Amino acid sequence: MNDAPDDIRTRLGLRRIINASGTMTFLGASIVVPEAVAAVTAILTEFVEIDDLQRRASTVIARLCGAEAGFVTASCAAGISMTLAGAITGDDLAAIERLPDQPGPRNEVVIMAGHMVSYGAPVEQAIRLAGGRVVPVGQATAVRPHQLAGALNERTAAALYVVSHHTVQYGMLPLAEFAALCHRAGVPVIVDAASEYDLRGFLAAGADIVLYSSHKFLGGPTGGIVAGRKDLVRAAYLQNSGIGRGMKVGKEGMAGTIAALEAWETRDHAGIRAREDAALDLWANTLAGRPGVTAIREADPTNNPLDRLRVALAPEQAHITAWDFAARLASGDRPVIVRDHEIEHGYFYLDPCNLHPGEAEIVANRMAGELDSAQASNTIIATPFADRALRAAARRKTWPD
Assess whether 142 and 107 both reside in one domain. yes
Assess whether 259 and 318 both reside in one domain. no
Assess whether 49 and 15 both reside in one domain. no
User: Residues 313, 293: contact at Cβ < 8 Å?
Assistant: yes
Assess whether 311 and 371 both reside in one domain. yes
Q: Does the pLDDT at position 279 exceed 90?
A: yes
Interval 193-213: pLDDT, tens: 998 889 999 999 999 999 999
Going by pLDDT thresholds of 50, 70 and 90, the confidence category of residue 302 is: confident
Assess whether 116 and 242 both reside in one domain. yes
Distance CA 321, CA 318 (A): 8
Distance CA 189, CA 210 (A): 9
Going by pLDDT thresholds of 50, 70 and 90, the confidence category of residue 126 is: very high
Of the three residues 266, 284, 307, the one that is the final residue of a domain is: 266
Tell me, what's the pLDDT at 373? 94
Q: Is 5 left (phi over 0), alpha (psi -120 to 50) or beta?
A: alpha
Going by pLDDT thresholds of 50, 70 and 90, the confidence category of residue 3 is: low
Percent of the chain, pLDDT > 70? Answer: 99
- CATH code, domain carrying 174: 3.40.640.10
Tell me, what's the pLDDT at 27? 84
Interval 305-355: pLDDT, tens: 899 999 999 999 999 999 999 999 999 889 999 999 889 999 999 999 999
Q: What is the pTM of this model?
A: 0.90
Range of the domain at 19: 8-27+269-397
Tell me, what's the pLDDT at 1? 46
Assess whether 240 and 114 both reside in one domain. yes
Of the three residues 198, 231, 266, the one that is the final residue of a domain is: 266
Interval 143-170: pLDDT, tens: 999 999 999 999 999 999 999 888 999 9
In a domain, 168, yes or no: yes
Assess whether 178 and 244 both reside in one domain. yes
Provide the number of structural domains found in the chain. 2
- Cβ count near 165 (within 10 Å): 17
In a domain, 331, yes or no: yes
Assess whether 134 and 173 both reside in one domain. yes
Cβ neighbours of residue 67 under 8 Å, at least 6 residues apart? Answer: 61, 203, 210, 227, 228, 229, 233
In a domain, 172, yes or no: yes
Distance CA 50, CA 54 (A): 6
Distance CA 211, CA 241 (A): 20
In a domain, 76, yes or no: yes
Interval 53-73: pLDDT, tens: 999 999 999 999 999 999 999
Instruction: Write down the H helix ranges in 23-91.
Output: 34-44, 50-65, 76-89
Q: Which H or E element spans position 286?
A: helix 269-287
Assess whether 213 and 78 both reside in one domain. yes
Assess whether 158 and 241 both reside in one domain. yes
Q: 360 phi and psi, to 5 degrees? A: -60, -40
Interval 167-185: pLDDT, tens: 999 999 999 999 999 999 9
User: Residues 14, 201: contact at Cβ < 8 Å?
Assistant: no
* Helix axes of 34-44 and 251-266: crossing angle, nearest 10 degrees: 150
* 120 vs 62: which has the higher pLDDT: 62
Tell me, what's the pLDDT at 161? 97
Tell me, what's the pLDDT at 182? 98
Going by pLDDT thresholds of 50, 70 and 90, the confidence category of residue 4 is: low
Assess whether 20 and 67 both reside in one domain. no
Assess whether 61 and 133 both reside in one domain. yes
